[in-house]
Structure 1
Amino acid sequence: MRRFWEPLLMGRQLLLWLVIGSLTGGLVGVVVTYFLKLLFWSINATSSWPLWAFGLALPGGGLITGLLIYYGAPDAAGHGTEAVIRAVHQHAGKINWKVAPIKAIATITTIAAGGAAGKEGPSAQIGAAVASAVADLLRFSAQQRQKIVICGIGAGFAAVFGTPVAGAVLGIEVLAMGDLWYEMLLPSFAAAVMAYEVAHGLGLTWTYARAAEFLPFSLGLFGRLVVLGIASGLAAYLLVLMMEGLHHGMDSLREKRRWWPPIFPVLAGILLFLLFVVVGRAPGGLSLGLLNQALSGHTVGDFMWWWKIVFVAITLGLGMSGGIITPLFVIGATLGSALSGPLGLPLADGAAIGMMAVTAAGANAPIAAIFMGMEIFGSRLGPDFLIAAVPAFIMIGNHSVYPSQRVRLQKSPWVPISIGVALEDTPDHPLPPPWIRRRQKHTSADSQRPPASMS
């Protein structure tokens, strides 16, 4: 009888999580939509301010952000998604309900004032918090809570980017470097689709310039896209190193010098205003104008990608609040645009491919980045995204904008890493120069691949 009942029981499990995922996605879509509308209203309200006004707004916004985070919810610091990943792995998805509203307000005070951050981190955190609240209401078990929170993460990403397939995959792929929880693909997709449809029905729109054209495949194109992918991985690596350096400096001053934590976002605001005076306001805020300029095939300057890295590292590295994926979009698009000339690529194509390659590297999520590229720019560019995303993913090494990601993959035998622990908890062993490094077989007991339960 087992062979008779097994498909029916599997179908019941599938139907159950399709329903739960859809209901969760609908709720997340409503909350994220109104958060985004408030954020865009705030940005429009400050967009016409003169430069001197940002000299007050940036430090003032930093102070409000610092006070909210320090006294309200420390998990709302930075870009937020890493706190959700940590909650999934360490607390079965249990999210403090206070984090979502504080994260939303702190992000608005950061971005509207000119801080360089994104809108997706708060959306994913809001989605996870809503899903965790649903789990509390329905009295879910720890494993069920973990699953529904993953649905909430994917729904948040889908609503903010307008990409349900990529949002569903990204919500799973960011949990671990080199692994996917296959059981959650369809429930997460159901949540992402429902969130997307609800957000669209409530009037949310997503605008991406789509000037990229199909590139006929050739060996030369393959080589040029690999080079672009390598450069994208190194750019993402540079961003991570700068953010980590500022984090460590901030922690050192707080612990050894007893600095008051809310002062760091204020210092970030002061530094950003000085950069506004020198560079201009284009790399600040969401930089959607800069992004669409690059994706439209217009020049944006050879070093705008560098300035965006600096702006983002200061904003998030010194304790202001916001997401990280949108900044990765902008860094990748401006880098791809700058390298299009030397690589002989159309400007719009270089920007689109660079955008997805930097995202694949920074988030350690190449599959989601490829899907996202195809959803935004069309499936004909899928092979190009793959060719650039994979070397970018390899080149960033064992680093990520999400330090709470679990390690499920050793990218190179010459760079050993403990499997099954978070990136932030892996020992930082020194490496000798490559020319004297011998290939070693990783034999640590924790190198066994853990089960797919993510627990």
Structure 2
Amino acid sequence: MGTNYVAYWKTLPYKLLVGLKWIGFGVLTGILVGGVSALFAKAIVLATGFRLAHTWIVFLLPLAGLFIVWFYHRLGARKPRGTNLVLEAIRESERVPVKMAPLIIVSTVLTHLFGGSAGREGAALQVGGSLGHGLGQLLHFRKEERRRTIMCGMSAAFSALFGTPLAATVLSMEISTVGVMYYSSLVPCAVSALTAHFVAQVINPGSEAMLLSAVPAFYVRDAVCTGLFAWACALVSILFATSMHSSKKLLQKYFPNDYIRVAVSGVIIVVLTLLVGDQTYNGTGSNIIASCIENPTFKLAFYAFLLKILFTSVTLGGGFQGGEIVPSLFIGATFGHVVGSFTGMNPALCSAIGMACVFCGVTNCPLASLLIAFEMFGFDASSYFILAIAITYLFSGNYGIYGAQKIRFSKWDPAEIDANTH
């Protein structure tokens, strides 16, 4: 014990320097990435507002798709791999091109402006990863430290866009390899997430939280109902993940040309929008998510979650850019609201649980899902959330929206499987 005590104090100066180095990098990353992400979020809001005020613009979606494909080709990204590239870079300590940031920002804003169905967090993970890596290069960090710089940027971007610094800290450490947590990145990820959250609040004041007004007491009957609902959410998350992968494969098979594929995808979205009669399923659908949580009398079609799956799968499968996580929150919220309305359970609580569960099912990140639930909805329903997320994680199997994500350990048995999600 005495030897260990002496060794600790001998190495303390070095540890302090390393700690200060990563704290400083976290602050710099939080300021840079947080500022860029907050401005990006503002651009998404402005684009959405313009589209809703000028609904005719959705007819130009195919043309916007052509420009997005041209833009990617022009900058040398003929086969964009998006978030999958970032996940592989974390695992293998590979490079993330800095040009990914302007590519995903411009293309995601255009997708939202013209009515594609997508989220914003795909841009968050890609922008954060590329800028974090770029800042590390600028500061001459070693190759061995590349993983931390990428994850640090991802945490900052996610925190700035979603207002959930706790979940953002954990998500980047959890998402690349399921079953493995990169704890060496905890300090820079935490510092960058908190710094970015502060910067984002200065640029875009407000909160993403949607606190639940009333949470029923948690008894045995509630636990059973929650467990069954979580299992259903696992099935919905599998449906969403397989739809995303299948739509991309089908569109690539029948329309191998990038320009034709994105134009056809845009036309399909325009036709679907006309058939629906409004733009409920275009863009992020954040207003629908908020209504499910905050408005007990809110009414929507029981198949709303299926339409969002269809809209998002066609949009992103065809070559438009954006994220899958906000659509997963929409899917979970609408599915939960419908289940709650039909079964007599609290619709708002079911919507909140559905959001957390579907997010967990498609990302395979139970800890980040739990923290997102706490930060967005408060701790009063903690028993519901932890049970539901655990069951969804178990029954969602090896499915996920990111094909480059690795499942290191089996969800069912104490064994290593080291398999990609499907």
TM over 0.5: yes
Q: Which residue of 2 aligns with 1:150?
A: 151
CA contact (8 A) 1:212 1:377 kept: no
CA contact (8 A) 1:264 1:319 kept: yes
Q: Which residue of 2 aligns with 1:83?
A: 85
Q: Which residue of 2 aligns with 1:202?
A: 203
| Alpha-carbon RMSD | 2.1
Structure 1 residue ranges (4+ consecutive) displaced by more than 4 angstroms after TM superposition: 75-78
CA distance in 2 between partners of 1:206 and 1:266 (Å) = 37
Query: 1:293 corresponds to which letter in structure 2?
Result: S
Corresponding residue SS for 1:408: strand
Q: Which residue of 1 aligns with 2:104?
A: 103
Q: Which residue of 2 aligns with 1:344?
A: 344
Deviations 1:198-237 (A, max 9, x none): 1111234344443442221111111111111111111111
Q: Which blocks of at least 5 consecutive residues in structure 1 are unaligned?
A: 425-455
Aligned counterparts, 1:139-288, within 5 A: 139-253=140-254, 259-279=256-276, 280-288=278-286
Q: Which residue of 2 aligns with 1:434?
A: none
CA contact (8 A) 1:332 1:357 kept: yes
CA distance in 2 between partners of 1:116 and 1:77 (Å) = 18
TM-superposed deviation, 1:94: 1.4
Distance change >3 Å, CA 417–CA 113, structure 1 → 2:
farther
| Number of equivalent positions | 414
CA distance in 2 between partners of 1:220 and 1:131 (Å) = 47
TM-superposed deviation, 1:108: 1.0
CA contact (8 A) 2:178 2:365 kept: yes
Q: Which residue of 2 aligns with 1:452?
A: none
CA distance in 2 between partners of 1:306 and 1:77 (Å) = 27
TM-superposed deviation, 1:65: 1.7
Do residues 357 (structure 1) and 361 (structure 2) align?
no
Q: Which residue of 2 aligns with 1:25?
A: 30
CA contact (8 A) 2:85 2:96 kept: no
TM-superposed deviation, 1:136: 1.3
Deviations 1:314-363 (A, max 9, x none): 11122110011111110000011011134432111111111111101111
CA contact (8 A) 1:24 1:152 kept: yes
Corresponding residue SS for 1:404: coil
Do residues 64 (structure 1) and 62 (structure 2) align?
no
Query: 1:306 corresponds to which letter in structure 2?
Result: L
Distance change >3 Å, CA 387–CA 73, structure 1 → 2:
farther
Corresponding residue SS for 2:417: coil
CA contact (8 A) 1:224 1:343 kept: no
Q: Which residue of 1 aligns with 2:3?
A: none
TM-superposed deviation, 1:162: 0.4
Distance change >3 Å, CA 218–CA 106, structure 1 → 2:
same
Query: 2:62 corresponds to which letter in structure 1?
Result: P
Corresponding residue SS for 1:47: helix
CA distance in 2 between partners of 1:369 and 1:262 (Å) = 36
CA distance in 2 between partners of 1:204 and 1:102 (Å) = 27
Do residues 131 (structure 1) and 132 (structure 2) align?
yes
TM-superposed deviation, 1:251: 3.6
Corresponding residue SS for 1:94: coil
Q: Which blocks of at least 5 consecutive residues in structure 2 are unaligned?
A: 1-5
Corresponding residue SS for 2:97: coil
Q: Which residue of 2 aligns with 1:307?
A: 307
Corresponding residue SS for 2:54: coil
CA contact (8 A) 1:129 1:149 kept: yes
Aligned counterparts, 1:2-13, within 5 A: 2-13=7-18
Corresponding residue SS for 1:407: strand
CA contact (8 A) 1:70 1:262 kept: no
* Identity over aligned pairs, percent: 26
TM-superposed deviation, 1:77: 4.4
Q: Which residue of 2 aligns with 1:390?
A: 390
Query: 2:270 corresponds to which letter in structure 1?
Result: F
CA contact (8 A) 1:128 1:152 kept: yes
Distance change >3 Å, CA 282–CA 18, structure 1 → 2:
same
TM-superposed deviation, 1:261: 1.1
CA contact (8 A) 1:364 1:393 kept: yes
CA distance in 1 between partners of 2:10 and 2:254 (Å) = 62
Aligned counterparts, 1:398-409, within 5 A: 398-409=398-409
- The equivalent position to 1:43 in structure 2, one of 15, 23, 48, is 48
Deviations 1:266-292 (A, max 9, x none): 111111111111123101111111111
Q: Larger deviation: 155-164 or 384-393?
A: 384-393
CA contact (8 A) 1:118 1:322 kept: yes
